[in-house]
Amino acid sequence: MRKAIYPGSFDPVTNGHMDIIKRASKLFDKLFVAVLVNTSKKPMFSVEDRVDFLKRSAENVPNVEIISFKGLLVDLARECSACAIVKGLRAISDFEYEFQMSLVNQKLNPEVDTVFLNTSAENMFLSSSLIKEIGSLGGDFAQFLPNEIQDDVKRRILT
């Protein structure tokens, strides 16, 4: 069974994230979508909320499992018996950072490869940060989020 991990903060999950999840799920027998617990960052949504948002958003993708993790991604890959890490790319700047991380991960765990998936053109501009900024300024960001979580995200951002 070929397993992969798609890591991220998903604060909140966007249609761009969901595009990568759906496409990556077709490439692997099992896809772990792993929500990063990073104590140095101050996310808007708790880890529990982000996991819940992803579970609801990916409910109809049968081979996806939503998890959270702390620590090194390569250690999680080893624990999950994953052969690959999936990374979504929006722009060249994403690639530069992710390429460097993939080289480090390859050194730390040579058994795990990194697979880069380009984001679909309609989602190239999307980021969780952009959604939170649009919302904080009173803009309508619902079209950029999975339907299953729009109301919850709106409620949190607008309060």
Q: For 51-103, how does the pLDDT look when each residue is reduced to its tens digit (9 = 90+)?
A: 999 999 999 999 999 999 999 999 999 999 999 999 999 877 788 889 999 99
CATH number for 101? 3.40.50.620
Q: Give the residue numbers spanning the domain of 132.
A: 3-157
User: Considering its fold, how many domains does the chain have in total?
Assistant: 1
Q: For 94-124, how does the pLDDT look when each residue is reduced to its tens digit (9 = 90+)?
A: 888 899 999 999 999 999 999 999 999 898 8
User: Within 13 Å of residue 150, how many CA atoms lie on the same side as its CB?
Assistant: 10
Whole-number Å distance between alpha carbons of 7 and 150 = 22
Tokens coding 110: 């040579």
Whole-number Å distance between alpha carbons of 111 and 152 = 39
> Residues with catalytic annotation?
17, 41, 90, 128
Q: Give the pTM.
A: 0.94
